[in-house]
């Protein structure tokens, strides 16, 4: 399995060589852009604005920062590497925190962490995180961007989450909170309790993705896609107490 980062995790004087492996695979269905008259694929060209829109080859394209109108400084990939200190190439844990304290809104991408040496230290680290119920907070540079990182243990696995920095997270939009009555709250909590269960990710499937795949098969076979018949409009109930009571009754019927 290809890895997306090779470096090390360190905390105190402990140094653990690791690699990061992508935890998510893309399940998207690829569609090409087509000219509907000629059925020919649409091609996007990279062109130069100041040279009569001449097409530019990938090897001739570099990154440039515009510091004045029409004036750029060029950055090669090697320039970004030179900016990295030895610390930037290591996931150096700065602090340990309770995982429950970290709002998931900060989470970005998830990686699996695999040892590439010092297997004993790797296993000790996992067990220590599990026993202490803590997660490590670190910073490192991934590619050309510094990443805030959370490292946690799950069973006998080590999971790394890249995170957004605080200044990247938008504040929650302001709204006026309505007064909640005791009966409303009790009914809402009862409904949540009735609908609660163990999270089983395998129970949730991408139904729309499956429908698109079936539609592709129909199109290939020359068949028409027919819209699904609506199963009935949901009943609109304005009164929150009445809506909660009916929801509880419906949930009880489904359970029986």
Report the percentage of the chain scoring pLDDT > 90.
32
Give domain status of residue 188, yes or no: yes
Domain that holds residue 192: 182-255
* Residues 133, 15 share a domain: yes
Per-residue pLDDT of 1-38, as tens digits, reads 455 678 888 888 888 889 888 888 888 888 888 988 99
* Residues 141, 202 share a domain: no
What does the pLDDT average to over 98-123?
Answer: 92
Is 77 in contact with 116 (CB distance < 8 Å)? no
pLDDT at 231: 67
Q: Provide the pairing of β-strand 71-75 with 107-115.
A: unpaired
pLDDT at 127: 95
Per-residue pLDDT of 179-238, as tens digits, reads 989 999 999 999 999 889 998 988 988 888 888 888 889 888 888 888 877 766 666 666
Is 39 in contact with 46 (CB distance < 8 Å)? no
Predicted model pTM: 0.74
Crossing angle of helices 182-194/240-255, nearest 10°?
A: 20
Residue 112 scores a pLDDT above 90: yes
pLDDT at 133: 92
CATH number at residue 95: 2.40.290.10
Distance CA 89, CA 172 (A): 34
Among 138, 168, 198, identify where a domain stops: 168
Residue 86 scores a pLDDT above 80: no
**Number of structural domains found in the chain:** 2
């Amino acid at each position: 399995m290809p890895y997306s980062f090779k470096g090390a995790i360190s905390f105190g004087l402990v140094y653990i060589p690791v690699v990061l492996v992508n935890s998510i695979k893309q399940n998207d269905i690829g569609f090409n852009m087509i000219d509907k008259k000629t059925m020919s694929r649409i091609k996007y060209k990279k062109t130069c604005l100041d040279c009569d829109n001449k097409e530019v080859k990938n090897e001739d394209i570099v990154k440039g920062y515009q510091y004045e109108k029409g004036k750029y400084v060029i950055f090669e990939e090697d320039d970004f590497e030179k900016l990295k200190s030895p610390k930037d190439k290591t996931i150096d844990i700065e602090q340990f925190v309770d995982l429950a304290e970290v709002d998931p809104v900060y989470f970005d991408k998830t990686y699996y962490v695999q040892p590439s040496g010092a297997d004993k230290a790797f296993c000790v680290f996992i067990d220590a995180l599990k026993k202490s119920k803590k997660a490590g907070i670190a910073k490192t540079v991934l590619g050309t961007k510094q990443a805030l990182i959370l490292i946690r243990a799950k069973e006998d696995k080590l999971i790394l989450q890249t995170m957004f920095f605080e200044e990247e997270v938008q504040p929650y939009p302001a709204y006026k909170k309505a007064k909640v009555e005791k009966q409303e709250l009790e009914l809402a909590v009862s409904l949540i309790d009735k609908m609660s269960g163990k999270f089983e990710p395998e129970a949730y499937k991408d139904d729309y993705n499956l429908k698109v795949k079936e539609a592709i098969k129909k199109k290939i076979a020359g068949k028409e896609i027919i819209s699904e018949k609506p199963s009935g409009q949901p009943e609109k109930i304005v009164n929150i107490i009445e809506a909660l009571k009916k929801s509880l009754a419906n949930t009880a019927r489904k359970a029986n």
